[in-house]
Amino acid sequence: MSVNKRRISMREGNVFLDGLKVLDAVKCEVVFTPEVTESRALKEQGLSRRWIGYDITGSITEYRSTPWLRKAIAAYNKTGATPEFTISAVQDDKNSDYYDANGTIPVTLSGVVLTGDISLINLDSEGELLQDEIEFGAAKLT
């Protein structure tokens, strides 16, 4: 047994968009929020709760290196169909205690729809490297 705890490093992992690796990914976060209903009956002191649905949201921050966002906008302008994506991510810190006990942490989202602003151009005389933060909602967690 070692003295040092080997917690999961947030730096170890990959993000994939429609099966293609997001090469310049900086950050990825996915949040599952249950929709909870509450009820109370006569003579019950506490509330009863249950899940009746959910929402999946998240964001990816990346250095702009591919035109995938412009392609999505162009496809929408041409067809009027909402672009949907599949996002997969895996956290795989092989040097963590969690990995030793459980292996990787994979997440795959389908029916992903972009929900935030999409920057088309960004110029700044004091800026350095262009990063995009892409917000999304997903229909399904698989």
Q: What is the DSSP letter of 82?
A: P
Which pTM does this prediction carry? Answer: 0.88
CATH of the domain spanning 13-141:
2.30.110
Write out pLDDT tens, residues 82-103: 999 999 999 999 999 999 999 9
Distance (Å, whole) CA 66 – CA 134:
13
> Do 114 and 135 contact (CB within 8 A), yes or no?
yes
Q: Cβ atoms within 10 A of the Cβ of 96, count?
A: 17
Give 83: exposed, middle or buried? Use CB within 10 Å, 0-12, 13-18, 19+: middle
Beta bridge partners of 138: 56
What CA–CA distances, in Å, run from 81 to 113, 114, 128, 139?
Answer: 11, 13, 35, 16
* pLDDT score, position 142: 87
Write out pLDDT tens, residues 22-71: 989 999 999 999 999 999 999 999 999 999 999 999 999 999 999 999 99
* pLDDT score, position 2: 65
| b (16+ CB within 10 A) / e for 22-60 | beebeebebeeeeeeeeeeeeeeeeeeeeeeeeebebbb
- Structural domain boundaries in the chain: 13-141
Distance (Å, whole) CA 28 – CA 14:
9
Average pLDDT over residues 123-140: 94
